[in-house]
Structure 1
Amino acid sequence: MAHKDWTIDDWKRVVWSDETKINIFNSDERTWTWIRSGESLKPHHVKMTVKHGGGNIMLWSAITYAGVGWMCKINGNMDKTLYKEILEDELERTIEYGTNKLGLERHQVVFQHDNDPKHTVGQNTSQTSTRFDVIVF
């Protein structure tokens, strides 16, 4: 609740970030369809599948009040080293874009991440928090 009293201007300083996996076909989650009792199954009730899922792509990106930030494709598994590289490249570009567009100074930026262990491991936490404030959601 540390941020419950923030103003709109306070929230405008936040750079929101996350990773996501986009599947070529369908999601990883189980899906359901509902039909009425006595109703027959229709083609639109059935989801086609592809053996082995058809592939996917992992992405990291950020958004600011000023708009969409930089995005990068994550090849392989994200670890603390790759995350550090993303912070040094895509996050830096996003902050530069956001501060220019919003008229902010760099020290006013607040970076958000979701407290995933690779985000908080030693080198990433200390290097990130010395450059700007960090909030965790």
Structure 2
Amino acid sequence: MGRGSPIPPMLRRKIVEQYQKGVSQRKIAKSLKLSSSTVHNIIQRFRESGTISVRKGQGRKTILDARDLRALRRHCITYRNATVMEITTWAQEYFQKTLSVNTIHRAIRRCRLKLYRSKKKPYLNMIQKRRRFLWAKAHLKWTVAKWKTVLWSDESKFEVLFGKLGRHVIWTKEDKDNPSCYQRSVQKPASLMVWGCMSACGMGSLHIWKGTINAERYIQVLEQHMLPSRRRLFQGRPCIFQHDNARPHTASITTSWLRRRRIRVLKEEGCSPDLSPIENIWRIIKRKMRQRRPKTVEQLEACIRQEWDNIPIPKLEQLVSSVPRRLQTVIKRREDATQW
């Protein structure tokens, strides 16, 4: 409970009930996540008056009333990217009151709001948004069964992680410059490029290399990994191959190779990772890499292959089945980025 917040009657009743059962005040405070002084005052009032009700006018009055909190909530929702300092400056001018940053921080929590780190999404200009909308509208009538015939493919970059795990460290004010409290970073960490493909039927082949890729090299990857994966996963059934609009994918020699092989291609619009389920697979594997923290490139490659093979079939079916909902969200949000 924040400072100055009234204790609900139900919570006061629980405190008295546990006290009557012989539970110590310290254990009561710990179990109900209250301060020992709060529990002591409630029990002391019950001893003296035999009641748990609070006398009228007891306790410090809040600086911001319910009407002020509604105005604060509207302002925070309208300006979601504002800092607490900026909100405090606005509140002082709007309410004509002396307010501190801590007071505004507590008031924001009373408004049932909380400060979170914003999700990172690619920037979309008006042309890209329009193309996303048209692509989503053109494929909106596809059923889940048809999306399960798509062989999704993509590349991703994995880096060897250095330093301690996480962004937070426990310290005192005097220890903030202690070397053990620093988070180390490397300017150019060792990395690997990974190409993979997947469908609702299972995981396809994985190809790992160092450096960049061009059209000739991409065609070799398709011959050595995409074609065997398509035969193994679909077993002769018709399927659609998907890749994004990267330069090696849209090169003339790549397009000619796909046409000669009579491979039907589903091209996605640029800056649309939220429409491809394989992007969720990369996210899962990168989260596993942050947990396992491989120290060398060899360990990184082994971990990637192991986690790639451990993706369960129900997870793949769930991701592929979510594609129609993703398209509906694109149309609903007027071509903007989705939550996926």
In the alignment, what sits opposite 2:108? none
- Aligned AA for 1:23? E
Matched, 1:2 2:132: no
**Whole-angstrom distance in 2 between the partners of 1:49 and 1:127:** 42
In the alignment, what sits opposite 2:101? none
For residues 67-124 of structure 1, the C-alpha deviation after alignment (integer angstroms, 9 at most, x for no partner) is: 1110011233200000000111100111011112xxx52xx21011111111011121
Alignment: residue pair count: 123
SS of the counterpart of 2:138?
A: coil
SS of the counterpart of 2:152?
A: strand
Matched, 1:85 2:215: no
Matched, 1:16 2:133: no
CA RMSD across the alignment? 2.7
- Aligned AA for 2:183? K
**Whole-angstrom distance in 1 between the partners of 2:150 and 2:254:** 18
Q: Which runs of 5+ in 1 are unaligned?
A: 27-32
**Whole-angstrom distance in 1 between the partners of 2:265 and 2:224:** 17
Residue of structure 2 aligned with 1:48, choices 161, 168, 184: 184
Q: Which of the two has higher C-alpha Rg?
A: 2
Matched, 1:117 2:224: no
SS of the counterpart of 1:6?
A: coil
TM-score (norm 2): 0.33
In the alignment, what sits opposite 2:207? 72
- Aligned AA for 1:110? I
Identity of aligned residues (%): 28
Q: Which has the higher contact order (CA 8 A, sep 6+)?
A: 1
- Aligned AA for 2:208? K
In the alignment, what sits opposite 1:29? none
Matched, 1:134 2:134: no
Structure 1 position 127, deviation (Å)? 2.0
Residue of structure 1 aligned with 2:231, choices 77, 91, 96: 96
Distance change (3 Å), C-alpha of 1:52 and 1:127 = closer
Distance change (3 Å), C-alpha of 1:73 and 1:121 = same
Runs of 4+ more than 6 Å apart: none
SS of the counterpart of 1:77?
A: coil
